[in-house]
């Protein structure tokens, strides 16, 4: 059985990979990752990882930006039409950021529009709930698919980096203080060359916080810092990703 998670960038993929391995028991499969064959358009921004558990496969496709969800999701929908039922993708999880405090309904409608553009009418009622739909493939086989939208943070403006900062605050008073001071530091800049969008400012807040918490790893990739934290212990992460236990 094949399942797939669509997320925006490498930070999302790193955190998802850690959670799925530590909490849900999925194992990274290097062999399957090399042969997966998804149509990556930009290898600098897009990443694909494949995990296995029992007889199941789980793909994480970091699509390289919010404007690329349409392309990636459409490819999988179209692939399911030509794949035999046993080889089709069964569960599609779409992890999206809540930029500029967009309402759930607006983001969910955008996802519905992607499916509608591919001839599928699907209605999402809530964030973080599975929706079932049935379609017939080119072999006239009936296939059952489940789709799960996860919009984070649940209750505020921001991106996955905001979600991570909230989890860091749960570690303790000192960590919460570091996060607060990191936000103050970044908010004091009015640079147009480097921190010229709200999205980059949030990334800057996370970078400053991690650099302070892990000064010995300042010159190592950010994924090393992210993997140094036991994310599975914190309520923010557990609540946000709880539905992933059902894959």
- The pLDDT tens digits of the residues spanning 189-207 come to 777 788 887 778 888 898 8
Please report which helix (H) or strand (E) contains residue 96, including its range.
strand 89-97
Residue 214 pLDDT greater than 70, yes or no: yes
What are the residue ranges spanned by the domains of the chain?
2-154+241-246, 172-228
**Would you place residue 239 in the very low, low, confident or very high pLDDT band (cuts 50, 70, 90)?**
confident
pLDDT of residue 74: 96
Mean pLDDT of the chain: 87
Alpha helices in 83-195 (DSSP H): 104-117, 160-169, 173-187
Alpha helices in 2-156 (DSSP H): 10-19, 30-35, 69-82, 104-117
Residue 15 pLDDT greater than 90, yes or no: no
Q: Is 27 helix (H, G, I), strand (E, B) or coil?
A: strand
Contact criterion met (CB below 8 Å) for 153 and 166: yes
Residue pLDDT, tens place only, 124-166: 988 888 999 998 889 888 888 999 999 887 666 667 788 889 8
Against a cut of 0.75, is the pTM above it? yes
Phi, psi for 93 (deg, rounded to 5) = -115, 130
**Would you place residue 229 in the very low, low, confident or very high pLDDT band (cuts 50, 70, 90)?**
confident
Distances (CA, A) of 112 to 11, 98, 102, 105: 25, 16, 16, 10
Could you give the angle at the alpha carbon of 188 between the alpha carbons of 182 and 191, nearest 5°? Answer: 110
Tokens of 7: 């997320």
Sign of CA dihedral 123, 113, 13, 52: positive
2-154+241-246 is a CATH 3.40.449.10 domain: no
Contact criterion met (CB below 8 Å) for 172 and 112: no
Residue 92 pLDDT greater than 90, yes or no: yes
Residue 99 pLDDT greater than 80, yes or no: no
Contact criterion met (CB below 8 Å) for 154 and 169: no
- Candidates 241, 239, 169; CA nearest to 209 is 169
Q: Is 147 helix (H, G, I), strand (E, B) or coil?
A: strand
Residue 101 pLDDT greater than 60, yes or no: no
């Amino acid at each position: 059985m094949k399942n797939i998670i669509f997320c925006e960038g490498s930070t999302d993929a790193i955190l998802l990979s850690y959670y799925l391995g530590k909490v849900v028991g999925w194992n990274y499969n290097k062999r399957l990752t090399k042969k997966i064959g998804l149509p990556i358009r930009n290898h600098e921004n897009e990443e694909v990882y494949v995990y296995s558990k029992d007889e199941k496969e789980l793909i994480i496709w970091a699509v390289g930006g919010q404007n690329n969800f349409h392309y990636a999701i459409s490819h999988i929908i179209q692939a399911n039409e030509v794949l035999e039922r046993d080889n089709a993708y069964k569960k599609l999880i779409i992890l999206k950021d809540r930029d500029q405090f967009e309402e759930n309904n607006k983001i969910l409608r955008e996802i519905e529009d992607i499916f509608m553009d591919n001839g599928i009418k699907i209605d999402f009622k809530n964030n973080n709930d599975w929706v079932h739909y049935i379609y017939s493939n080119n072999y006239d086989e009936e296939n059952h698919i489940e789709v799960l939208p996860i919009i984070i943070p649940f209750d505020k403006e921001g991106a996955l980096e905001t979600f991570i900062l909230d989890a860091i605050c749960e570690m303790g008073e000192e960590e919460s203080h570091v996060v607060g001071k990191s936000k103050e530091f970044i908010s004091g800049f009015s640079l147009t060359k480097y921190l010229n969008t709200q999205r980059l400012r949030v990334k800057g807040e996370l970078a400053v916080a991690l650099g302070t918490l892990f000064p010995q790893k300042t010159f190592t990739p950010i994924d090393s810092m992210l993997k140094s934290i036991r994310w599975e212990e914190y309520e923010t992460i557990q609540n946000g990703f709880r539905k992933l236990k059902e894959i």
